[in-house]
Amino acid sequence: MSEHYDLTVSIIIPCFNEEQVIMYTYERVSKTMQSFGTKGYEIIFINDGSRDRTLSILKEIAQKDANVKIIGFSRNFGHQPAVTAGIQACNGDVAIIIDADLQDPPELFPDMIKMHLEQNANVVYGMREKRKGETFFKKITARMFYRTINFLSDTPLPVDTGDFRLIDKHVIEAFKAFPEKNKYIRGLISWIGFKQVPIMYVREERFAGETKYPLSKMLKFASTSLLYFSKKPLKLALGLGSLSLIVGLALGVWVLTGLIFRPETLVPGWASTVIAVIFFGGVQLLTIGVLGEYLGNMFEEIKNRPEYIIYEKVNF
């Protein structure tokens, strides 16, 4: 006999150009939700401006299954806005965020709910023991990214995790109150606090289609998480400025002592001048670049444009 949990569950699935996998995603998620009892569930697909048949396939599914709901964006706004829209629209006592590519297993849902109830956890986040089907470059850069953002963050963040997680009503309501537009969701959920516990799993290869996170999007995501979520890069720029000042004073002392004690070693146009100019110039450009990124983020917030525009909703 399957277990029964006295709560309602929302499944949030952002998708972009997933026509090759979306039907199988629905079947696996639906089968999993029907394998145990709840007070009710909803599967919210957020179509992030797909240019293939993703939306039409979702509409066919929604006609046959009233538990399926669709939010359609007017264009591609990105993964994090899509997840945000799902959280804003969900009605469950808990919500589970999962990508449509099935690298994260829907079959883990019952265990996540069980941990939530038994351990009184507000967040159950998936922690990857192993990542199948990924290149060495992707693995090493992901490892470096998670540890760098953890070092720079004022809030401790779990490493080797993604957005695959369960969040309860307290976290959902707190998240809905965030006014900022460019969100680093896994960082914000960690910042919210409450009790958060990991559940270990093996991340599978993508079932079909191609990754929606090429290098350009990965770099943009890294920039948002590093410069939007933490103030430490500003402190790092200050540290580099202080270091350059110390180096400049040291070079000044070296030149002064050279004039007094070893004038024969001083050659006009010596290389240390060039090195000093390059060093100071590099520090200044780096500092200006960091400040520029923060000013750009402030500019985006001041414009106060919506994070996304919803074109249509189905089954709401």
The predicted structure's pLDDT at residue 288: 73
pTM of the entire predicted model: 0.72
pLDDT digits (tens, 9 = 90+) for 172-189: 999 998 888 778 888 888
The predicted structure's pLDDT at residue 98: 92
Mean residue pLDDT of the chain comes to 79
Do residues 148 and 101 both lie within one domain?
Answer: yes
Find the domain containing 43 and state its range.
Answer: 8-230+307-314
Q: Does a structural domain hold residue 134?
A: yes
Q: Which of residues 262 and 171 earns the better pLDDT score?
A: 171
Q: Does a structural domain hold residue 3?
A: no
Q: Tally the domains of the chain.
A: 2
The predicted structure's pLDDT at residue 289: 67
Do residues 143 and 261 both lie within one domain?
Answer: no
Q: Where is mean pLDDT largest: 167-181, 266-280, 286-300? A: 167-181
Do residues 37 and 93 both lie within one domain?
Answer: yes
pLDDT digits (tens, 9 = 90+) for 45-102: 999 989 999 999 999 999 999 999 999 999 999 888 999 999 999 999 999 999 988 8
The predicted structure's pLDDT at residue 1: 45
Cα 159 from Cα 144, distance rounded (Å): 10
Do residues 252 and 169 both lie within one domain?
Answer: no
pLDDT at 214 exceeding the cut of 60: no
Q: How confident is the model at residue 142 (pLDDT cuts 50, 70, 90)?
A: low
